[in-house]
């Protein structure tokens, strides 16, 4: 026979609220720190070809006049652009995983909030100003700042990869074709972002030995 629920004391209420607030605050701080680190890493990688070009031009290894035309740029500069564009895919993928991980943690805190909000509502006539919907926040949110950050990085990566590979192929510059190629590569990046965000939401459920009801979608 189940025991009737015991009333919550003021100290227990304060403990729940403190754990809840500190938990969601730590999640947002960790998410911001992770995105900042990956953005810095991406910017460092993407600025490397420019730094190398300036160094080569200042030491007279490359004639600055050769950099003004598509067909006179040395092949190794195109190789640098392509290589660092490929390396910048790593922070792009890490940004996606960071957004997913922090969104899952925030949803878990929403589940934790659901465990006590009904009791507090009945006993204290209190409701939180934090979300209790276990579907919030969504991992796939391209118009949120994390999503915008990921998409902008994907466009820059696509430009680097396309320009580098096109320059190495020694083909003539065709601006419309180059822009279309950048868009296609950006669509590949976007598909990776879309698949990872949605597949992550449909992951296998964790072990539940106490048979708690699952409220996360």
65 within some domain: yes
Q: pLDDT tens across 170-202, in order? A: 878 888 999 999 999 999 999 998 888 876 555
Q: How many domains does the chain have?
A: 1
d(CA 28, CA 16): 19
Q: In 3-state terms, what secondary structure has residue 190?
A: helix
- pLDDT band at residue 161 using 50, 70 and 90 as cut-offs: very high
Q: Is the pLDDT of residue 38 over 50?
A: yes
Between 113 and 87, the more confident residue is: 87
211 within some domain: no
* Two tokens, residue 56: 């080569």
114 within some domain: yes
212 within some domain: no
Q: Is the pLDDT of residue 17 over 90?
A: no
* Two tokens, residue 110: 């929403």
Q: pLDDT tens across 84-94, in order? A: 999 999 999 88
* Two tokens, residue 84: 């660092």
Q: Is the pLDDT of residue 217 over 50?
A: no
DSSP 91-143: HHHHHHHHHHHHHHHHHHHHHHHHHHHHHHHHHH----SS---TT-S-S--TT
Domain that holds residue 33: 10-201
217 within some domain: no
d(CA 136, CA 104): 9
């Amino acid at each position: 026979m189940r025991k009737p629920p015991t009333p919550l004391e003021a100290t227990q209420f304060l403990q729940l609220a403190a754990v809840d607030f500190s938990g969601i605050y730590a999640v947002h701080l960790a998410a911001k720190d992770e995105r900042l680190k990956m953005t810095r890493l991406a910017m460092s990688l993407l600025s490397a070809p420019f730094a190398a070009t300036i160094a080569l031009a200042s030491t007279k290894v490359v004639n600055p006049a050769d950099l003004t035309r598509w067909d006179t740029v040395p092949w190794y500069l195109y190789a640098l652009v392509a290589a660092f564009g490929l390396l910048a895919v790593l922070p792009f993928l890490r940004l996606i995983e960071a957004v997913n991980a922090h969104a899952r943690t925030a949803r878990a805190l929403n589940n934790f909030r659901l465990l006590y909000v009904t009791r507090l509502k009945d006993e204290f006539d209190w409701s939180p100003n934090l979300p209790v919907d276990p579907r919030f926040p969504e991992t796939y949110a391209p118009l949120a700042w994390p999503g915008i950050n990921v998409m902008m990085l994907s466009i820059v990566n696509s430009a680097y990869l396309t320009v580098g590979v096109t320059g190495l192929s020694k083909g003539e510059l065709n601006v419309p074709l180059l822009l279309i190629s950048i868009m296609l590569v950006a669509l590949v990046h976007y598909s990776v972002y879309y698949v990872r965000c949605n597949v992550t939401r449909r992951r296998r459920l964790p072990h539940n030995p106490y048979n708690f009801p699952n409220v996360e979608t």
